[in-house]
Each structure stands twice: as C-alpha cells, then as structure tokens.
C-alpha cells in the first residue's frame, strides 16, 4: 500500500519508480491533499490504464475538484472512492472550508455516488 503522506510529492525519483512498477502492483491507495489536483497522480493513473487497468485503486478525496480529465481517467480505472467531506451542513461547511463551494462539492459527491454504483 502506498500512502503519499510518507513521501514528499516533490520527489520525482520516487514517483518515477512507482510509475515504472505499475505492472507489479495489485493495489494502490492515494490519500492526502486533493489527489485529483496532483499531476503526478494523474500521470500514474494514465500509466495504470495503459499497462494494468485492473489494479485496485482507492482514492480519498474531499470532492472539491473534479474535471473532465479526472472523469475520463476514472472511467477506465478500477477505483474505490473514499469521501472526506468537511460537513454536509452548508453553513458549517462554509465556516470550515474557507472559499469552498458547497454546492459544487455536493454535485461532485453525487457524481462519485453514481460512479461507484456503475463500477460496483
């Protein structure tokens, strides 16, 4: 299991080693920060799609960011999504996540709910 929090994102040698080891992986987990905004994660997922798309992936997200590139990657991956939401109460969310967009997060939560149902 890979937990990003143990290694700095800025270590390109480490991430290159992970990308080059995709064919040996059975399971990989992405946590810490917002994984969908970390370019090296996206590159690893692209490599997984090319080499071994059946790898089980778990991604922990706060649902603040979701774009078409991420959606396209997720469609080909065997990913479980773990949501870490600050609050489901809009006012509490606003106090916790300064400059956050509660409505967008809830839309993204709905996308992830539908995604996980489709992907089982």
Tens of pLDDT, residue by residue over 44-67, are: 899 899 888 889 999 999 999 999
Tokens of 77: 């991956």
pLDDT band at 89, cuts 50/70/90? Answer: very high
Buried b (16+ CB within 10 A) or exposed e, 32-70: eeebbebebbeebbbbbbeeeeebebebbbbbbebeeeb
Place of tokens 């270590």: 11
pTM for the structure as a whole: 0.80
What pLDDT does residue 2 have? 45
Q: Is the pLDDT of residue 7 over 90?
A: no
């Amino acid at each position: 299991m890979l937990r990003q929090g143990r290694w700095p994102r800025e270590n390109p040698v480490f991430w290159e080693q992970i990308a080059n080891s995709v064919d040996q992986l059975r399971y990989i987990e992405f946590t810490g920060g917002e994984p969908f905004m970390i370019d090296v994660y996206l590159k690893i997922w692209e490599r997984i799609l090319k080499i071994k798309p059946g790898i089980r992936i778990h991604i922990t997200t706060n649902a603040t960011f979701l774009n078409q590139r991420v959606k396209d990657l997720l469609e080909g991956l065997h990913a479980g999504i773990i949501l870490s939401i600050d609050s489901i109460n809009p006012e509490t969310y606003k106090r916790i996540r300064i400059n956050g967009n509660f409505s967008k997060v809830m839309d993204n939560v709905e996308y992830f709910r539908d995604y996980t149902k489709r992907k089982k």
